Structure 1
Amino acid sequence: MAFLIFGLWRLKQNQVEGTPKVSVVVAARNEEQNLRRCLEALTHQSYPRERLQLIVVDDRSQDGTREILNHYRSKLPELLKTIRIAENETHPSSKKHALTRGIARATGEFIFTTDADCTPPSAWISEMASLFAPEIGIVIGPAPITAKNELWDKLMGLNTLAKEFVAAGAAGWNLGVTCTGRNLAYRKAVFHEVGGFNNIAHSLSGDDDLFLQEVTGATRWRVTYSLNPNTAVPSQAKKNLSSFVTQHRRHASAGQYYTKPIQASYLVFNIANLSLFVFFAFGLFYDDLFPLAMLTFGLKLILDFLALYLIAKNLRKETLLVVFPLWEIFFLLSQIFISPLGFVGKSRWK
């Protein structure tokens, strides 16, 4: 934990000037309820329109997604390009296939990705693009949860902030560990340098974290994380535990393809976290263990809270810290009972 906290402190936000050509690629499947909001957000970016290209790939949608895309394309023929995946096109990971098709049509020097149910803020592209110093190949953007007043939303929001902390802290050491595809940007040259998604095609998910690990592990390009809250692309919290389990399981399924050092790091962290809880429980019943148990568990809580506070402060999400005690229990239970599900059975992208 201290390693990641120091990594967050080391994270540099060097900005460069200029407006390079940017292509935003969105993979959409059955998104008629969200697509209009996403397209409105993307077409109202502060970035110069002549330096921007929007590409939406319709992955065999069976709702009104196609009609919405046709409407916007007729209004913005120079800005918006659409691609339709045919019903007979099969691929182990349909989302990575859709993104690959979109990137093949991209004319921009930089590829930005987001999801069709997201609404990036108006400064998203301009602020993210400014972080591409000459040595930077990939920029991770914050992807928080929009938390309402409900306890569940706040719990999901803080859980997401924990992932953001890991992503930012690791990036401070130029380590690619995790990120989310709803807020990611990279050089198109980097995408081609690692062979696109070819080396990770066997995983349903991984168009984000596995790709990130591929870039930082196989190239000399550096990674950074945007701490600018104006680059945050929020998403709605899952409505209930069942939806959370389904999503968490799909994301965890990529873990079996992580590099061995990253797998080992996660394993050591989870074992240590569980051990501290167990030691704390024993300390409540054995007087000889009580002082040491309280000390070690207290230190854990301090480090956990400090980590979450630092990332929350940067992203202006301090109000989520009110559920920190409950989150500690939720996080432990999710690591014990939910994460292992990603290694059994099969998951689907919508």
Structure 2
Amino acid sequence: MVLIIITGLYVLIVVTFWAALFFPNKKNTTKLYSVSVVVAARNEQQTIGTLLSDLVQQTYPDELHEIIIVNDGSTDNTGSIVDSFVQNYPNIRQLHVVKDTETGLTAKKNALNQGIRHSSGEIILSTDADCRIKPTWIQSMVSYFTDDVGMVVGFSQFGQSQGGYSLFQQLQAIDFLSLMSAAQGAINLNCPLAASGQNLGYRKAAFEQIGGFQRVKSRISGDDVLLLQLIHKFTNWKIRFAPSPECFNYTQPEKTVKAFFSQRKRWASNGSYQLQLNLIFFLFITVMFLANAGIFIGAPTYFFLYNSFKIPILCLFAKILVEFLITWKGAISYQRIDLLKYFPIWAILQMPYVIYTGISGTFGQFRWKGRKHLQELTIFRTDYEVD
């Protein structure tokens, strides 16, 4: 009975997200804002040049946007590559991270904070140093900033529809596709849950209104999802999802299983934080974890007690059905129909994967940018006052 209830809740939530994907798009604006693209980079010599090549081809007026690359202690040729662009493009700047003992911000948040502090744009756009973006990225993202919107979440994907990716990498792509689909559905319901720093925009005024990253300064990650939660919780700004292909971007999936799980444990590390920051999100990820664990681990227990797999199989079927619906809709919207053939494998492997990352992301450790991080169950700061 417990398994049926938990699975039923999970099915109801996912169906609600799926239905919200059919909501009509709201009207965009033609207003032009000043924009600062802020990118934190650490040892990105293999990719930073490609990203900068994409950024200098933007269709947005040069006089209305600047590009700030924040060099977070790179020990490779990242700095010299950025310098070569700085010499040729007057709207590109490179900042070198200065250790800031006053704010107490963790590495990437400190880098982004310093970049934002030196920015002049009304709108901050962020992406990762290993991403590829379209020439229309800035123009399209800005169009979603109507007068009441404080943050815009853009779509990002792992890889492209062209071939050349392993099965393991394609499974990462469909997994991220399903996550982004759920994120869009939740935002359409005015209940934003998740975002990706690979494609994100927000008003500098909204960032300053919440005190920047200070409320979540001890978190290793979360410069995207926690920022979204803070703007939603502490301001009246609206949050929108940008479904236009003109602002889609992509990055490469991880090549090894070890790197993949380190990435996903980092993402999952903020799960317990949602208990204080966003109770609805916390309940959703808890229900998702329990549904997967209940079916995957509970099936043999149920068979031992009742000599039948009937209930676990029915729950598994219901779970897979609704996950297919939301992934199918996302694949159409995001032009990744090619990924649907990997859905059956992903749907089965997802269960042990969710269980493992849920536990290890909460209590384990992970590596990021050559630094080892031990997860800590820190408390959300409710006493922070914004000047």
> Which aligned pairs between 1:1-350 and structure 2 lie closer than 5 A?
1-10=14-23, 12-77=25-90, 79-86=91-98, 88-89=99-100, 91-147=104-160, 148-258=164-274, 259=277, 260-277=279-296, 293-350=312-369
Secondary structure at the aligned position of 2:294 is classed as: helix
1:113/1:183 contact within 8 Å kept: yes
CA shift digits 1:216-248 (9 cap, x unpaired): 111111111111122111010100110101111
Q: TM-score, normalised by structure 1?
A: 0.93
Distance 2:24 2:35 in 1: 24
Aligned residues: 348
CA shift digits 1:114-142 (9 cap, x unpaired): 11111211111111111111221111011
Distance 1:173 1:303 in 2: 18
Distance 1:52 1:328 in 2: 42
Identity %: 31
Q: TM-score, normalised by structure 2?
A: 0.84
**RMSD of equivalent CA atoms:** 2.1
Secondary structure at the aligned position of 1:334 is classed as: helix
Q: Which amino acid aligns with 1:184?
A: L
Distance 1:285 1:11 in 2: 49
Name stretches of at least 5 consecutive residues in structure 1 with no aligned partner. none
Give the deviation of 1:290 after TM superposition: 5.7
Secondary structure at the aligned position of 1:256 is classed as: coil
2:289/2:358 contact within 8 Å kept: no
Distance 2:358 2:298 in 1: 22
Secondary structure at the aligned position of 1:224 is classed as: strand
Distance 1:284 1:313 in 2: 39
Secondary structure at the aligned position of 1:234 is classed as: strand
Q: Which amino acid aligns with 2:345?
A: L
Secondary structure at the aligned position of 2:202 is classed as: strand
2:292/2:355 contact within 8 Å kept: no
Give the deviation of 1:345 after TM superposition: 4.2
**Mean Cα displacement is larger for which, 257-266 or 242-251?**
257-266
2:105/2:214 contact within 8 Å kept: no
Q: Which amino acid aligns with 2:208?
A: H
Distance 1:74 1:226, change over 3 A: same
1:283/1:294 contact within 8 Å kept: no
Distance 1:269 1:53 in 2: 41
Distance 2:221 2:71 in 1: 18
Distance 1:190 1:287 in 2: 55
Distance 1:297 1:335 in 2: 14
Give the deviation of 1:289 after TM superposition: 5.3
Q: Which amino acid aligns with 2:199?
A: N
CA shift digits 1:132-162 (9 cap, x unpaired): 1122111101111005442112101001112
Distance 2:134 2:83 in 1: 24
Distance 2:71 2:312 in 1: 54
1:144/1:235 contact within 8 Å kept: yes
Distance 1:302 1:280, change over 3 A: farther
Secondary structure at the aligned position of 1:165 is classed as: helix
Distance 2:293 2:362 in 1: 20
Secondary structure at the aligned position of 1:179 is classed as: coil
